[in-house]
A and B are shown apart, each in its own frame.
Chain A
């Protein structure tokens, strides 16, 4: 089945550690996105990539980094510079007419 997978579902990190969240899609979509969601709030764009080897900062990129070496994969690294990393992280890819399809999300908790 085509879709977007994110792993792990739950992630715990100690303060000061970097952590990488995985996002894979087999929908053959060019563009991919990372969003952050805090409790009771909407989605905020962290980074996006329109094509392999290219990516742009979104609205809240500080403390995060990404890479796009393969079309299918768009991993997000939450660095120790991110002041409040505890959140729900969502990855999405874009269909040709503009709709975005989301993965199941990764809940990151900093201990």
Chain B
């Protein structure tokens, strides 16, 4: 089946630093999604990407849909303590839309710790 390799697994950074994480796959995806999950809560959608090459920002967050459709990255600029959490990428194959319920494939997550 499809797999997403998300890296790094964890990051320990100082407040104010920039952060970069990425997801890669051997399969092509038509949609890339980035989520953030805080302890004991459900994941919250940060950014959705629908087109190869697309670069989208949400405040200090920027994500890009890779040209090959097999990867995506998320950057966080000028990190702050409330950025702490687990960041997940997820990919969607358009062909799944009608047949298999539009199932998402999730990365394993990047645990981000920000030291004040």
Contacts and interface: CB of A to CB of B under 8 A. Distances in A.
Contacts of A105: 40-42
A99 B41 contact: no
Interface in B33-82: 33, 35, 40-45, 48, 50
Given A41-B108, A99-B45, A94 B40 contact: no
A48 B42 contact: no
B28 interface: no
Contacts of B109: 42
Interface in B67-116: 88, 90, 92, 97, 100-104, 106-109
B31 interface: yes
Interface residues of A, number: 27
Contact of B41 (A43, A100, A104): A104
A20 interface: no
A2 B31 CA distance: 23
Contacts of A31: 101-102
A6 B102 CA distance: 22
Query: Which of B31, B88, B102 counts the most chain A CB atoms within 10 A?
Result: B102
A102 interface: yes
A91 to B, nearest CB: 8
Contacts of B40: 88, 105, 107
B43 A102 contact: yes
Contact of B48 (A43, A90, A97, A102): A97
Interface string A70-111: 000000000000000000101010100111111111010000
Contacts of A58: 103
Interface of A: 4, 6, 31, 33, 41-43, 45, 48-50, 56, 58, 88, 90, 92, 94, 97-105, 107
Given A43-B88, A97-B48, 16 more contacts: A4-B42, A6-B42, A31-B102, A41-B108, A42-B106, A43-B43, A43-B106, A49-B101, A97-B50, A98-B92, A98-B97, A99-B33, A99-B48, A101-B45, A102-B43, A105-B42
